[in-house]
A and B are shown apart, each in its own frame.
Chain A
Amino acid sequence: MAMRARQKIRAPRKGLASSKGDDFEANWQALSGSLKRIHTKDASDLSFEQLYRNAYNIIVTMRGHDLYERVKQLEREWLATEVRSSVDAAISPSLLFAQDALDIQDQANERRAAGERFLAVLRETWEDHQLSMGMITDVLMYMDRVVVADHRKPSIYVASMALFRDIVLRSPVRPDTKTTVADVLESTVLFLVQLERSGQIIERPLIRHCIYMLEGLYETITEEESSKLYLTSFEPAFLEASKTFYQKEGQRLVESADAATFCKVAMERITEEKERCASTLSTLSEPKIKEVLDNELIKRNIAEVVNLEGTGVRNMLDQDRLDILRSVYVLSSRVDNKKTPLTAVVQKCIVDMGQEINTLATAPAPAPETTDKKAVKEKEKPMNQQTMSAIKWVDDILALKKKFDAIWVDSFMSDQVMQSAITTSFSDFINSNPRSSEHLSLFFDENLKKGIKGKTDSEVDSLLDNGITLLRYIKDKDLFEAYYKKHLSRRLLMKRSASMDAERQMISKMKMEVGNQFTQRLESMFKDMTISEDLTSSYKDHIRKSASHDGKPVDLEINVLTSTMWPMEIMSNTRDEVQLSCVFPREVESVKQSFEQFYLSKHSGRKLSWQASMGTADIRATFQRSNGKTARHELNVSTYAMVILLLFNDVAPGESLTFAEIQSRTRIPDHDLIRNLQSLAVAPKTRVLKKDPMSREVKPTDRFFFNNDFQSPFTKVRIGVVSGSANKVENNDQRKETEKKMNEERGASIEAAVVRIMKQRKTLVHSKLMSEVLGQLSSRFVPDVNMIKRRIESLIDREYLERVGEDPPTYGYIA
């Protein structure tokens, strides 16, 4: 039984809810007196519990609603009498009637002092109200929980804030005007902000506190974020004032100042406004004032600033004023993702500078071209100059590139848009130079031959990388490949490369940049070289073993080249006429045959074709001086020169051979013969032969003598072949030749691509086919649309393709 008694729920004692029935008035009397004392900051001997209990009792006797209304009424009275009067007293006439009196110093100062006084009073009033209402709300907590929840009323705190808004801020200052306290507050704050913008120091925390007030008050009792008084009333006014201000400021700056000043001021304004939002006004306004700045100050003026004569971006680029450029960039990127004015100027600038470089590189060239028929001397000298200028061209571009890279990183914050703009411009002007591929290849040639000597690996690396960067810009990569191949073949065969490592490095870099297909042929050139080395040594072994030779053996070093991989046509200088192979001297011929035999025994079915024009020979020459002495020199000459010189073994001293005789006995092509004879008889330091008459040009009737009086300080003499041996800028004829070949090759590539595509697709609409072909080939070159059309026609003629439809034109593949 006892247990059960314990378990029974005890009914709540009536005492908890006050038993006294109708003492609402008594409770309210106690409560209201206390609330007033809270407002007058005299609460220390009030008991919270007592007040809370008073309120609680009122509420549990169902009079909560009355209590709520009574409290509201009490607040209303308090605000309307005590609070209003102190605020009104703080409003001096200067605040009420002053307009934009910024220019008159005295008035401004007076208004400022009055304004700050007013703000201080308002701030204190507000903070007191907040504090008191906080306490009152705490005391009336239970009322809020019951009454507010039941009757869907705003909490007493919210209600009292609304009262503050209406009674203190929203009612007229004087009975005779419409100006409210809020209006005065607004104009005062705007006035102070204006002062600060013009450089004066104002009391920021004071304003900040008044703004807090506006942020803490709402238009509606639901207190949505968007209904803050700050947002509904103050902020629009602030933004409007700012707009006017920055419109004027922008105009003034553009009219009176240079671009640098504009940027500086604009940047300062940006930080200033940001700081103002953080410290004086509200961070809510930050994005909005930023927009005002962007629109009014920057967007309106940026194009003009960028293009300002004398101080604009052009000038900055010329003067390397990276810091200001950065400001320009920052400002531009704020208002325009594409930064149109800035990119336009930068692009134009790059193209201009690039064209200058182009002009510089091509300027000397026209001279020999226009006077093609002039003397050889004139033709040779500029050739070298041209090579120099080609390399200078590349260097200049690299310098320009470096400059803009630095600008891009420093000033343009590595912006993607800017990068692509810069790249486009570079590509544009580089490709506008028709010789860009050749120049670039020459640049590599020069560096791989000489330039990299004495440089560290990393230097070589960066040098090559620079070149590769330019390669990226070049559209006709196949043209570059042709030149590179030509230059490379010379370097390899003539053993001119400074470092094979560097060559290979270069190949792998190109492979990375342009792709496998591009370097395939270059790589096979290297492979041929390696195989040939092995071949030479195994041939030597073979000779040593067979050992049945008589007399002095001829040392043979041979390069067997795969004809399709090497630029044969360039090396052999064959024109269209049929080439008869050169007649080698007996000794050489036997060695040649011996090697052919050896080689064909290893690789039957192959055909060796001897390229004498590319070879060299070491011969030992004995010069019988007139004084009876004998001078010996080891001459390093081209194969053709060797053939010519060996002829003189059979010529009695003092006898001579004519050009025609030499030609008929050697069958060396005219072109090569002339050049070799020139180097043997005309070049001042290497006159192993004497020529009659002594002139530069070689005529068929000229006679050649062995020059026993040949003098050289060195035992070993290297006799180069004039022109053709070194890699130089092509002359016009050669270029036409190259272009022609290039076009043929491109035609073949296009056909191959078309057939490849059609084989896969069977039938295809013309436009689709075109775009696929362009896509496939774009990595190598930019095909000419007409050329593609012609090739398609040709393929149709040759019955690889057929027309299967006319509208739209469609092709079919014929298997």
Chain B
Amino acid sequence: MDSTPGSSEYVTLVSGDGFEFIVPRSTACVSGTIRRMLDPSSRFSEAVTGRCVLENMSGLVLEKVCEYLCYNLKNKNQTNVPDMEIPPELCLELLMAADYLDT
């Protein structure tokens, strides 16, 4: 993993149960927590490796989170933002993920 440069274009988000999601860095940085995590000036291991393990998040939730991150970035400058549908049964877990990831 050390081979991945800290400033590469893509980063890997890993769920607690081992699912990996490879997303563009800019997408990941929509999350305040991940943005700080990857901040090159701080030189934390995540910033060095470009791999963030989110221990306390299931793959199911992290998938939805990634979907949201993409949705957010895609519609960033839109004036008419379409709604993002999320399954109601996940809403609490997502809420807590949002709290954790500051997004």
B88 contacts A by Cβ under 8 Å? yes
Q: Which residues of A contact B88 (CB under 8 A)?
A: 7-9
How far is it, in angstroms, between the C-alpha of A18 and the C-alpha of B39 when the chains are bound?
A: 26
Contact B92 A49 (CB under 8 A): no
B82 contacts A by Cβ under 8 Å? no
Q: Which residues of B contact A7 (CB under 8 A)?
A: 88-89
Contact A9 B92 (CB under 8 A): yes
> What is the number of residues of chain B that contact chain A, defined by CB distance less than 8 Å?
33
Distance to closest chain B CB from A8 (angstroms): 6
Interface 1/0 per residue, A13-48 and B, CB below 8 Å: 101111000000000000000000000000111111
Distance to closest chain A CB from B41 (angstroms): 7
A151 contacts B by Cβ under 8 Å? no
A6 contacts B by Cβ under 8 Å? yes
Which of B37, B43, B93, B95 is the one whose CB lies under 8 Å from A44? Answer: B43
Distance to closest chain A CB from B44 (angstroms): 4
How far is it, in angstroms, between the C-alpha of A717 and the C-alpha of B95 when the chains are bound?
A: 118
B33 contacts A by Cβ under 8 Å? yes
Across the two chains, which residue of chain A brings its CB closest to B16?
A15
Across the two chains, which residue of chain B brings its CB closest to A45?
B45
Contact A48 B93 (CB under 8 A): no
Interface 1/0 per residue, B70-103 and A, CB below 8 Å: 0000000000000000011111110111001010
Contact B100 A10 (CB under 8 A): no
Which of B16, B44, B92, B95 is the one whose CB lies under 8 Å from A48? Answer: B44
Across the two chains, which residue of chain B brings its CB closest to A8?
B89
Contact A138 B36 (CB under 8 A): yes
Contact B41 A131 (CB under 8 A): yes
A11 contacts B by Cβ under 8 Å? yes
How far is it, in angstroms, between the C-alpha of A296 and the C-alpha of B57 when the chains are bound?
A: 67
Distance to closest chain B CB from A23 (angstroms): 15
Q: A10-B89, A16-B100, A141-B102 are in contact. Are A48 and B46 (CB under 8 A)?
A: yes
Contact A16 B93 (CB under 8 A): yes
Q: Which residues of B contact A12 (CB under 8 A)?
A: 92-93, 95-96
Kindly identify, within residues 25 to 44 of chain B, every residue whose CB is under 8 Å from any CB belonging to chain A. 32-33, 36-37, 39, 41-44
Kindly identify, within residues 110 to 155 of chain A, every residue whose CB is under 8 Å from any CB belonging to chain B. 131, 134-135, 138-139, 141-142, 145
A710 contacts B by Cβ under 8 Å? no
How far is it, in angstroms, between the C-alpha of A145 and the C-alpha of B99 when the chains are bound?
A: 10
B8 contacts A by Cβ under 8 Å? no
Distance to closest chain A CB from B57 (angstroms): 7
Q: A138-B36, A141-B33 are in contact. Are A48 and B42 (CB under 8 A)?
A: yes
B65 contacts A by Cβ under 8 Å? no
B69 contacts A by Cβ under 8 Å? no
B48 contacts A by Cβ under 8 Å? yes
Which of B43, B53, B57, B102 is the one whose CB lies under 8 Å from A16? Answer: B57
Q: Which residues of A contact B16 (CB under 8 A)?
A: 15
A623 contacts B by Cβ under 8 Å? no
How far is it, in angstroms, between the C-alpha of A640 and the C-alpha of B58 when the chains are bound?
A: 128
Q: Which residues of A contact B97 (CB under 8 A)?
A: 16
A800 contacts B by Cβ under 8 Å? no
Contact A49 B53 (CB under 8 A): yes
Which of A10, A17, A134, A139 is the one whose CB lies under 8 Å from B92? Answer: A10
Contact B39 A49 (CB under 8 A): no
Distance to closest chain A CB from B88 (angstroms): 5
Q: Which residues of B contact A11 (CB under 8 A)?
A: 92
Output the residue of A7, A12, A145 with the most chain B CB within 10 A.
A12
Q: A15-B16, A44-B43 are in contact. Are A49 and B89 (CB under 8 A)?
A: no
Q: Which residues of B contact A145 (CB under 8 A)?
A: 102
Q: Which residues of B contact A52 (CB under 8 A)?
A: 33, 37
Interface 1/0 per residue, B46-70 and A, CB below 8 Å: 1110001111111000000000000
Which of B32, B56, B89, B96 is the one whose CB lies under 8 Å from A141? Answer: B32
How far is it, in angstroms, between the C-alpha of A139 and the C-alpha of B42 when the chains are bound?
A: 10
Q: A15-B56, A44-B48, A56-B100 are in contact. Are A49 and B37 (CB under 8 A)?
A: yes
Contact A10 B45 (CB under 8 A): no
How far is it, in angstroms, between the C-alpha of A57 and the C-alpha of B61 when the chains are bound?
A: 19
Across the two chains, which residue of chain B brings its CB closest to A57?
B56
A675 contacts B by Cβ under 8 Å? no
Q: Which residues of B contact A49 (CB under 8 A)?
A: 37, 46, 52-55
A209 contacts B by Cβ under 8 Å? no
Across the two chains, which residue of chain B brings its CB closest to A56?
B100
Distance to closest chain B CB from A765 (angstroms): 68
Q: Which residues of A contact B90 (CB under 8 A)?
A: 10
Contact A43 B43 (CB under 8 A): yes
Across the two chains, which residue of chain A brings its CB closest to B88?
A7
Across the two chains, which residue of chain A brings its CB closest to B89?
A10
Distance to closest chain B CB from A702 (angstroms): 109
A485 contacts B by Cβ under 8 Å? no
Across the two chains, which residue of chain B brings its CB closest to A145?
B102
Contact B57 A48 (CB under 8 A): no
Output the residue of A46, A49, A134 with the most chain B CB within 10 A.
A49
Interface 1/0 per residue, A50-88 and B, CB below 8 Å: 111100100000000000000000000000000000000
How far is it, in angstroms, between the C-alpha of A6 and the C-alpha of B86 when the chains are bound?
A: 12
Which of B54, B93, B102 is the one whose CB lies under 8 Å from A10? Answer: B93
Q: Which residues of A contact B102 (CB under 8 A)?
A: 141-142, 145
Across the two chains, which residue of chain A brings its CB closest to B36?
A138
Across the two chains, which residue of chain A brings its CB closest to B14?
A49
Q: Which residues of A contact B46 (CB under 8 A)?
A: 47-49
How far is it, in angstroms, between the C-alpha of A16 and the C-alpha of B56 when the chains are bound?
A: 5
How far is it, in angstroms, between the C-alpha of A94 and the C-alpha of B99 when the chains are bound?
A: 55
Contact B53 A47 (CB under 8 A): yes
Contact A46 B44 (CB under 8 A): yes
Across the two chains, which residue of chain B brings its CB closest to A44?
B43
How far is it, in angstroms, between the C-alpha of A46 and the C-alpha of B36 when the chains are bound?
A: 13
Q: Which residues of A contact B44 (CB under 8 A)?
A: 43-44, 46-48, 51, 135
Across the two chains, which residue of chain A brings its CB closest to B56?
A16
How far is it, in angstroms, between the C-alpha of A12 and the C-alpha of B89 when the chains are bound?
A: 10
Q: A8-B89, A16-B96, A16-B100 are in contact. Are A43 and B55 (CB under 8 A)?
A: no
Distance to closest chain B CB from A535 (angstroms): 82
Contact B89 A9 (CB under 8 A): yes
Across the two chains, which residue of chain A brings its CB closest to B102?
A141
Q: Which residues of B contact A45 (CB under 8 A)?
A: 45
Q: Which residues of A contact B93 (CB under 8 A)?
A: 10, 12-13, 16
Contact B55 A48 (CB under 8 A): no
Q: Which residues of B contact A131 (CB under 8 A)?
A: 41
Contact B96 A134 (CB under 8 A): no
Which of B43, B47, B48, B56 is the one whose CB lies under 8 Å from A53? Answer: B56
Contact B45 A6 (CB under 8 A): no
Across the two chains, which residue of chain A brings its CB closest to B39?
A138
How far is it, in angstroms, between the C-alpha of A100 and the C-alpha of B30 when the chains are bound?
A: 55
Q: Which residues of B contact A16 (CB under 8 A)?
A: 56-57, 93, 96-97, 100
How far is it, in angstroms, between the C-alpha of A734 and the C-alpha of B53 when the chains are bound?
A: 112
Q: Which residues of B contact A142 (CB under 8 A)?
A: 100, 102
With A6-B87, A9-B88, A53-B55 given, name 7 new contacts (CB 8 A): A9-B89, A10-B90, A15-B16, A16-B93, A48-B36, A53-B56, A134-B42
Q: List 27 A-B contacts (CB under 8 A).
A: A6-B87, A8-B89, A9-B92, A10-B92, A10-B93, A13-B58, A15-B16, A16-B56, A17-B96, A43-B43, A43-B44, A44-B48, A45-B45, A46-B44, A48-B36, A48-B47, A48-B52, A49-B37, A49-B55, A51-B44, A53-B55, A135-B42, A135-B44, A141-B32, A142-B100, A142-B102, A145-B102
Rank and list the top 5 A-B pairs by shortest CB-CB distance, nearest first.
A138-B36, A48-B44, A48-B37, A135-B42, A10-B89
